[in-house]
Structure 1
């Protein structure tokens, strides 16, 4: 028996609050779960700073990755198996790509990436292809198997059908995180009839299509996604925590570049500050490491770093007002000058943050990002793009929604202490009086 077809002597089962059970019967999948690179995902939250808004949102990338694997397993083992358009030889490749798709996420994910110019997809690729435990396990299938898995995740493979299962506008990734994030945040928005969607999925040469009879379940899924983005992912309190997190990292990097003498040397950050981070450095970074430094930085001599670290840890977040950068750029300039006069550094304490989402779109030639549309399969075998059949989806298709807010530290703008008149001017400009 080859390693690729080897089964466990007894099926392993993970109890899961979203899918009830996650089943593992392939030796390869079980071995991948046991690697240190995959176990590291237990120490990275799925929703970054959202736990400061929704206290239940403590779930990890590990939970989510297992969930995506389980959805894909159900599709290829229960829905696609035996269908002429599906090649069962792709089964293991699909399961591995589903399991490992988020392997390269760093602590606090997107906030961390922005500060240090990183790309989690690039690190996913490096972890799969470098000398890692994950790579060693995958190579037991064949020398080129790690590359095949990486190409599915990176969307560079010629196997478009498998890619669409992992990454499209209706994929296993989104179906898991919408339900999982809704469950752990306690909101009702992210729920939809996933079982129905799975039952009406059909394989085609270049992508998964949905039977026409499942259109209403897909409409529900798209609206769930829309609501989750604006009610959970872009929640202004969560964004405030992200702003402070980002500014902590910016400040620490700036101090390092100024040869500031930290009380607690940020050894884990040196390669990041230098822009020379290796795969090994990256694998050893997780949120427990970052939070340890935040704890230490509360006691630094630098007042900005100390204050920002305390704010994040004790949840003393910035307040916000609605803001339109295109129309109010003069106000921002005035506020920056007044902040400086009041002894408050606007670089760290006056921040415009923007959120933007496109809930559904079809392919538009010439755009940078090709969005693979959702196609419906009629009884006569004709395939039609979803928004042509659904008036609900058509109403939101191609319509990008953008929101801007201006964040500031309300406690520093009180009348007490020096600069009373200047702070009064600031409050007036922010419409706080």
Structure 2
């Protein structure tokens, strides 16, 4: 189908702590890795503020993207060896889909931006839309490389990532309950955070994966390896992804960007000129940015602005920048829905202590389901994990596994109220001792913890 792809005269390898070697056999894959848009991912951390808690989590979107490609490559080569299609529509693997699958796996995260999730939230950017744009916009190096395969190849790759590609096997390989993306990030995040919750038996899972007409399934003999994956994911969410201090640093980051935006909006309406202009952020403050503006940002650019903001005349901007750069997280307490009145009273005490509650308090909730919002009865069920029985019939994982059934469909929610840790200071350390006493008593009396 895509005959313009050349094989490299000799395969190239990238050393990797997770997969040992990442193998590149196709010229187009090597060319994509060498584009400026893909190299930018070296400058964006995979886990945002998580390194404030797990200091080893310095790995990047670049290494995860290579890892996702490698898992997809292993799956495709296993399918090619063990389940090659013999005739049209037999539900087996059609190897003409190989290249589009590998390119989509490599590029699935290319639209992520600096501190991506927090940044998206403040400036309403969407990394999935930007991924499509990078792949389909003729001005990008990525698009130019893909277009050499065929003129419609970029849009095919983009449609795999946006789930519109006609072959469900290809889509599910990159994005489903148990896909190349998740398999790489669980192992990689687990390794770099120094936790072992995310480890599972990748070799065994790849061995029991197989294509069928409606997508990708797993031989029933591999049920324990699949269960282990689901439990690993569950653990990683609770222990790493939803860690309260990492979320606290995200709150500070969000408030810092919000404050900068507010100051620049008020300056535009004529309240004086600021001495320092963060040029690369201005298009986002103006809500009028181009793809090129977006690609200029990375974690380092934002950190440089934060360093400059430490010396800003605005006390809130300066203080938030210091808290972020010097890792001074907000404190938090858990609460449940019926505590709205108590939270308002706590906010009032924080305000009486001289803090602007718009910037120094937050309510931050995290929802996830261990089986990724998996609920066959929900109005929009995601793809199920199908086990393939010996007679070829399919059975859904949670109907076979007591373990998965016990954790699927359960919302792991942890709602927190964030506030400055000065509110808990001992009275001899603080200028507002009456407020801190009030605050502590309020927390204890209302059993908010």
The alignment status of 1:128 with 2:144, answered yes or no, reads no
For residues 212-261 of structure 1, the C-alpha deviation after alignment (integer angstroms, 9 at most, x for no partner) is 00000000000000000000000111111111111101111111111164
Q: Distance between the aligned counterparts of 1:18 and 1:333, measured in 2?
A: 47
Q: Distance between the aligned counterparts of 2:381 and 2:292, measured in 1?
A: 33
- Contact 1:3/1:27 (CA < 8 Å) preserved in 2? no
Q: Distance between the aligned counterparts of 2:95 and 2:104, measured in 1?
A: 15
Q: Distance between the aligned counterparts of 2:415 and 2:374, measured in 1?
A: 26
**In angstroms, what is the RMSD of aligned CA positions?**
1.8
For residues 260-306 of structure 1, the C-alpha deviation after alignment (integer angstroms, 9 at most, x for no partner) is 64332111111111111111001111001000000000000111110
Which runs of 5 or more structure 2 residues have no equivalent in the other structure?
86-91
Partner of 1:142: 150
For residues 127-185 of structure 1, the C-alpha deviation after alignment (integer angstroms, 9 at most, x for no partner) is 11112000010000111110000000011122211000000000000000000000000
Partner of 1:163: 171
- Contact 1:79/1:199 (CA < 8 Å) preserved in 2? no
- Contact 1:4/1:92 (CA < 8 Å) preserved in 2? no
> What is the Cα deviation at residue 428 of structure 1?
2.0
> What is the Cα deviation at residue 366 of structure 1?
6.3
Q: Distance between the aligned counterparts of 1:428 and 1:256, measured in 2?
A: 39
Partner of 1:382: 393
Aligned residues: 431
Q: Distance between the aligned counterparts of 2:274 and 2:204, measured in 1?
A: 56
Q: Distance between the aligned counterparts of 2:122 and 2:152, measured in 1?
A: 34
Which runs of 5 or more structure 1 residues have no equivalent in the other structure?
none
Partner of 1:31: 31
Partner of 2:89: none
- Contact 2:84/2:95 (CA < 8 Å) preserved in 1? no
> What is the Cα deviation at residue 406 of structure 1?
1.3
Q: How does 1:178-217 map to 2 (within 5 A)?
A: 178-217=186-225
> What is the Cα deviation at residue 363 of structure 1?
5.4
Partner of 2:54: 54
Partner of 2:79: 79
- Contact 1:38/1:103 (CA < 8 Å) preserved in 2? yes
Q: Distance between the aligned counterparts of 2:378 and 2:57, measured in 1?
A: 38
Cα pair distance change 1:138/1:430, threshold 3 Å: same
Segment drifting more, 83-92 vs 256-265: 256-265
> What is the Cα deviation at residue 427 of structure 1?
2.7
Partner of 1:406: 417
Q: Distance between the aligned counterparts of 2:431 and 2:46, measured in 1?
A: 43
Cα pair distance change 1:207/1:232, threshold 3 Å: same
- Contact 1:4/1:28 (CA < 8 Å) preserved in 2? no
Q: Distance between the aligned counterparts of 2:402 and 2:265, measured in 1?
A: 55
Partner of 2:99: 92
Q: Distance between the aligned counterparts of 1:389 and 1:139, measured in 2?
A: 45
For residues 374-423 of structure 1, the C-alpha deviation after alignment (integer angstroms, 9 at most, x for no partner) is 00001111111111111111112222121111111112554456443233
2:324 match: secondary structure: helix
Q: Distance between the aligned counterparts of 2:109 and 2:381, measured in 1?
A: 21
Partner of 2:444: 431
2:187 match: secondary structure: helix
The alignment status of 1:280 with 2:288, answered yes or no, reads no
The alignment status of 1:293 with 2:301, answered yes or no, reads no
Q: Distance between the aligned counterparts of 1:312 and 1:303, measured in 2?
A: 14
